[in-house]
Chains A and B, each alone.
Chain A
Amino acid sequence: MLTVVKVMTVHQDDIEKLAELARVRIPVEEAAEVTARIATILGLVDQLQSVDTAAVEPMANPLDAVQRLRVDAVTEANQREAFQAIAPAVENGLYLVPKVIE
């Protein structure tokens, strides 16, 4: 029959590491509260562990459709100027970012 498996308890340093990986900084004073809320959400989703899915194929698309491929041909016109007109910082057709190599 069904067994309940507790996956793990999430700690504040796990959340800080995740935030680092996801590039969303959590201010120090909010870290405890964010951890508590995420722990509640993970508690909710842990219900899944009670279901026996040994023989079930994972489903990525609700119609079980596979990605349609198109002919490998150029179909779009170059619109660099239109796309870069909305960028925060560009120069000579290039996006500007802080220096990467010292």
Chain B
Amino acid sequence: MHDLSVAALALGLRNRDFSSTELTRHCLQRIRALDPHYNSFISVDEVGALDAARQADTRLAAGEKAPLLGIPLAHKDIFCTSGLRTSCGSKMLDNFVPPYDATVTRRLRDAGTVLLGKTNMDEFAMGSSSETSFYGSSRNPWDTSRVPGGSSGGSAAAVAARLAPLATGTDTGGSIRQPAAFCGITGLKPTYGRVSRLGMVAYASSLDQGGPMARSAEDCALLLNAIAGFDPQDSTSSEQPVEDYTAQLAQPLSGLRIGLPREYFGEGLEQATGERIRAALALLEQQGATLVDIALPHTGLSIPTYYIIAPAEASTNLSRYDGVRYGHRCENPRNLHDLYTRSRQEGFGDEVKRRILVGTYALSAGYYDAYYRKAQQVRRLIRQDFLDAFTDVDVIAGPTTPGPAFGLGAKTNDPVAMYLEDVYTLAVNLAGLPAMSVPAGQVNGLPVGLQLIGQHFDESRLLNVAHQLQQASDWHLQSPPEAGL
């Protein structure tokens, strides 16, 4: 059962080949047996999952045909789940049991999905390796001595190891796409504002966006259908109408123009990874697409721009953790100042503190214009690069990352080296564009991801291109060896 696509699982459920309870038990059994190798889950909710599965079975027996009814999934531990601990990978929220559901959580409950548990992640989504988690690193199922990527590393590892057929992730600077690439799965970061941020623990609010992680573009489309759409409770949510994201999947690619930014294929891209990407692009070309050389001249500046804007917004967002209303509180505070300072010192890890300090610096009097305002100006230039390119091409393609997954601990002592990992993904968030990572073969047994970038609200086209690639290749069907076997 764990090798089936979501569409095949849904058909099996409707045909009574198996029940949601059987499918859920199977996933829970795999998590129990295999997850000690991957540490992809922070919390597993066996009781809640079996209860939701029984309810789904009742609805299925009544003839209901909702596309995700009875399908198990995992949420990144950044989405609030009423009654189930939502830690965001931090000691600060180790004891936090939300009194409400995120909009994404609620929509997926209403769709009849079965929540297996909450997945591991970099603390407050700040990282590219899942190593900053308070609950220990998650590990890459293809090679457990390597990172699964981050920050949605637990979701990527759980899907790749076939512990869950679907998972949610969030992407502030590449946190869905980079782990999807490292773990050989398919992930989509939607347009900014496409998926509600209500109840998604905030990191950098002008960049954060939730999205699907799965084993194919088709499965991502099914999950996106359930979570996309306007939410009056998120003031940055878009009122743009939602499409059926499965409707365009079968569209042929003839006439499609794909832009290849020369900045994404230059120095810094590992040679073997570049070869895999070019092979995937050749396949799209065979299907009728035209490859066009384009320029995104401000690409290199996306790193400094991001590492001002994201920490600035984070330092503001994380000021809410004060040891008073929820979350970690220090023992025996001497006074209010000590309560704030010691609760935060004890509750936050090193990378979170670094970003709070950088953000506080960038926003402080005297430096605001030189850093924050400057970054917001360069941000506009970065977006303009994309808008100019899209006057000539339909989608943009390149590598998701410079190379495959790196080893655990390889970059933890050098924050800047870790930041440079995100060179191909950050600009997309700064520009608010949708983008995917799609499996494109392997280098030395480690997966490589092809990144596809679309125009604002053009998720259907990205999913179409990814699906057509997956009709012509079997990279997305390759699975890592089962741990312990």
Question: Which A residues fall within an 8 A CB radius of B?
Answer: 7, 10, 14-15, 18-19, 21-26, 34, 37-38, 40-42, 44-49, 51, 53, 56-63, 65, 67-68, 70, 79, 82-83, 85-89, 95, 97-100
Q: Which residue of B lies closest to A35 (CB)?
A: B357
B99 touches A60 (CB 8 A): no
B191, B323, B380, B431: which has the most chain A beta carbons within 10 Å? B380
B429 CB contacts on chain A under 8 angstroms: 62
Query: Using Cβ atoms and an 8 Å threshold, which residues of chain A touch B378?
Result: 48, 51, 53, 56
Name A56's closest neighbour in chain B (CB-CB): B377
**What chain B residues lie within 8 Å of A99 (beta carbons)?**
335
Query: Which residue on B lies nearest to A22, using beta carbons?
Result: B360
| Assembly CA distance A98 to B333 (angstroms) | 7
Cβ of B47 within 8 Å of any chain A Cβ, yes or no, is: no
Query: Contacts of B325 on A, CB cut-off 8 Å?
Result: 83, 87, 95
Q: Are the CB atoms of B416 and A40 closer together than 8 Å?
A: yes
B381 at the interface (CB under 8 A from A): yes
Size of the B side of the interface (Cβ < 8 Å), in residues, is 74
Q: Min CB distance, B355 to chain A, in Å? A: 9
Interface of B, helix, strand, loop or mixed by DSSP? helix
Asked if B235 contacts A98 (CB within 8 A), the reply is no
A18, A48, A70: the one within 8 Å of B301 (CB): A48
> Which residues of chain B (318-359) have a CB below 8 Å from chain A?
319, 322-327, 329, 333-342, 344-345, 348, 353-354, 356-358
Q: Are A63 and B456 in contact (CB-based, < 8 A)?
A: yes
A sample of 12 cross-chain residue pairs with beta-carbon separation below 8 angstroms, ordered by A number, consists of: A18-B360, A25-B345, A41-B416, A41-B419, A45-B304, A45-B307, A53-B378, A62-B192, A63-B456, A65-B238, A87-B326, A95-B325
- Whether the Cβ atoms of A58 and B329 lie closer than 8 Å is no
How many Å lie between the Cα of A98 and that of B326 in the bound state? 16
Residues in B neighbouring A44, C-beta threshold 8 A: 303-304, 307, 416, 419
Q: Is B76 an interface residue (CB 8 A)?
A: no
A49 to B419 CA separation, bound complex (whole angstroms): 19
Contact across chains for B236 and A59 when beta carbons are under 8 A apart: no
CB distance from B193 to the nearest CB of A (A): 6
Chain B residue, CB-CB nearest to A83? B99
CA distance A65 to B192 in the complex (A): 11
Q: Which of B98, B319, B353 contacts A26 (CB 8 A)?
A: B353
Write out the residue numbers on chain A whose beta carbons fall within 8 Å of the beta carbon of B329. Answer: 88-89
The complex places the Cα of A68 from the Cα of B324 at a distance, in Å, of 30
B383 within 8 A of A: yes
Complex contact A38–B380 (CB within 8 A): no
Q: Which of A7, A26, A40, A42 has the most CB of B within 10 A?
A: A42
Q: CB-CB < 8 A to B374: which residues of A?
A: 48-49, 51, 53
Q: Are A53 and B377 in contact (CB under 8 A)?
A: yes
- The residues of B that contact A100 with a CB separation of less than 8 Å are 335-336
Please judge, given known A-B contacts A21-B364, A56-B381, whether A37 and B315 are in contact too, CB under 8 Å.
no
Interface string of B86-127 (1 = CB under 8 A from A): 000000000111110000000000000000000000000000
Q: Which 5 A-B pairs have the closest CB atoms?
A: A62-B432, A58-B376, A53-B377, A88-B329, A59-B380
